């Protein structure tokens, strides 16, 4: 369902990370204004992603952190897609718990010590590098247990820990913001051009195919943030 339009952009990004953008962003070419803005998102860069998206993995390895370092005035806010991937719902619950845990400890989500980052990359590496599919059937409890074990091993937690933590109101707030179905903000954004999807101020979706480098992406974020 989700369009895979990012391969060429990733190659260019790897080759031209030092290129800066000189021209102003153009609607329809560099970005699209969302028909339904994401509420309470001023000053943020929202990244909609899924553990089973190879391009999300590649962007997180080489693009997301360096770009955000160049826009310190913006806050990075990840949205995990519960609707993508066999274990998407469980991935969202686990990652929401990790975000709440990091926030309580004052740990940046892009920091190497972030529980969110450790869990996210544990899933990325297992799924994309090791080709682990955990039975590819979320209706079987043993497969769900295996998924949780992979995700939680780097942070020393268990499924029981997550099941308890997910009831916390802060975790529920994150999950409610992400949404768990096809009416969610994350799904509506992702269906426009696939994932990863980067949204500035909750209003402007960057067309990743137009990005030619780290500097250009950072400049695009700045220009969109300054739009009136």
Give pLDDT, residue 136: 96
Show contacts of 175-182: CB within 8 Å, 24+ apart.
175/92, 175/93, 175/96, 177/79, 178/79, 178/80, 178/81, 178/82, 178/92, 178/96, 179/82, 180/82, 180/83, 180/89, 180/92, 181/82, 181/83, 182/83
- Does 220 fall in a domain? yes
For residue 118, pLDDT beyond 50:
yes
- Does 216 fall in a domain? yes
Give pLDDT, residue 104: 98
- Does 23 fall in a domain? no
**Does residue 152 contact residue 119 with C-beta atoms inside 8 Å?**
yes
Give pLDDT, residue 147: 98
CATH of the domain at 91: 3.40.30.10
Mean pLDDT, rounded, for 212-225: 96
The residue among 212 and 223 whose pLDDT is bigger is 223
Q: Encode pLDDT of 141-187 as tens digits.
A: 999 999 999 999 999 999 999 999 999 999 999 999 999 888 899 99
Distance, in Å, from the CA atom of 62 to the CA atom of 65, rounded to the nearest integer, reads 7
State how many domains the chain has.
1
Give pLDDT, residue 124: 98
Give, for 47, the enclosing helix (H) or strand (E). strand 44-49
Q: What angle in degrees, to the nearest 10, is found between the helix axes of 7-15 and 54-62?
A: 10
- Does 64 fall in a domain? yes
Q: Encode pLDDT of 70-112 as tens digits.
A: 999 999 999 999 999 999 999 999 999 999 999 999 999 999 9
**Does residue 189 contact residue 213 with C-beta atoms inside 8 Å?**
no
| Parent domain of 70 | 42-226
Please enumerate in sequence order all residues whose Cβ is within 8 A of that of 2, keeping only pairs 6 or more positions apart, or say none: 53, 84, 190, 191, 194, 195
pLDDT band at 16 (very low <50, low <70, confident <90, very high): very low
**What is 94-118 written as a DSSP string?**
HHHHHHHHHHHHT--TTSTT-HHHH
- Does 61 fall in a domain? yes
**Pairing of the two strands 75-80 and 44-49:** parallel
Q: Encode pLDDT of 28-58 as tens digits.
A: 999 999 999 999 999 999 999 999 999 999 9
- Does 156 fall in a domain? yes
- Does 101 fall in a domain? yes
Q: Encode pLDDT of 188-199 as tens digits.
A: 999 999 999 999
Distance, in Å, from the CA atom of 101 to the CA atom of 124, rounded to the nearest integer, reads 20
- Does 140 fall in a domain? yes
Coil, strand or helix at 159: helix
A 10 A CB-CB count for 193 gives 18
């Amino acid at each position: 369902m989700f369009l895979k339009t990012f391969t060429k952009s990733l190659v260019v990004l790897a080759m031209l990370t030092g290129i800066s953008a000189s021209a102003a962003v153009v609607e329809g070419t560099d970005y699209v204004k969302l028909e339904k803005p994401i509420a309470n998102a001023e000053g943020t860069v929202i990244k909609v992603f899924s553990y089973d998206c190879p391009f999300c993995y590649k962007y997180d390895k080489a693009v997301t952190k360096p770009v955000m370092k160049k826009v310190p005035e913006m806050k990075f806010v990840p949205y995990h897609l519960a609707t993508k991937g066999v274990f998407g719902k469980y991935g969202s619950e686990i990652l929401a718990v990790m975000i709440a845990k990091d926030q309580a400890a004052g740990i940046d989500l892009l920091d190497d010590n972030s529980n969110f980052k450790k869990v996210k990359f544990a899933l990325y590496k297992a799924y994309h590098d090791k080709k682990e599919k955990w039975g590819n059937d979320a209706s079987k409890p043993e497969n769900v247990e295996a998924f949780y074990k992979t995700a939680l091993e780097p942070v020393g937690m268990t499924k029981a820990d997550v099941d308890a933590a997910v009831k916390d109101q802060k975790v529920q707030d994150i999950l409610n913001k992400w949404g768990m179905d096809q009416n969610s903000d994350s799904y509506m954004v992702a269906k426009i051009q696939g994932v990863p999807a980067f949204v500035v101020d909750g209003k402007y979706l960057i067309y990743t195919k137009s990005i030619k480098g780290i500097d250009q992406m950072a400049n695009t974020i700045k220009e969109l943030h300054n739009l009136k």
